[in-house]
Amino acid sequence: MKIYSMIGSFVVIIALILYSIGFAKEQRKKLITSRVLFFYTLGVFFDISATTLMILGSSKGFTFHGFIGYSSLLGMSIDTFLLWRQNRKNGPLLKVSKRLDIYSRVAYIWWVAAFITGGLLVALRHV
């Protein structure tokens, strides 16, 4: 495994931790606090960094693994944008809208599924 891919794998684990903390806080309180936004925003930053590193470390072009990863990154980026927008529009003390709550769940589940699938695809490629 190339060094960029190895570092990218480590960085994507950090993104998973950050997304998970933000998601858990938002789901538990149903509020978009500054802490939720902090963890989501950092998660997106680390996810973009990990994706960039994995692209640099890959010798293949566009793959199924890449499609899954890009689509899940897009989903979480949109979710983060929508959370920021609702926070700025309504303030942190107004509950998350039902539609945004459902979107956040779908985006997070898709991202975790992509994380697991990506790891499995890479592992199966080396078997």
- Judge contact between 26 and 32, C-beta under 8 A: yes
Q: CA 35, CA 22: separation in Å to the nearest integer?
A: 7
> Distance between CA atoms of 56 and 113, rounded to whole angstroms?
23
Over residues 24-59, the pLDDT tens digits come to: 999 999 999 999 999 999 999 999 999 999 888 877
What is the per-residue pLDDT for 67?
87
Cα–Cα distance for residue pair 121/114, rounded to 1 Å? 10
Q: Token digits for 96?
A: 């998350």
Q: Tens digit of pLDDT per residue, the chain (127 long)?
A: 689 888 999 999 999 999 999 999 999 999 999 999 999 999 999 999 999 998 888 777 677 888 888 999 999 999 999 999 999 998 888 889 999 999 999 999 999 999 998 888 777 777 7
Q: Which domain holds residue 83?
A: 3-125
Domain count, the chain: 1
Quick one: pLDDT at residue 1?
60
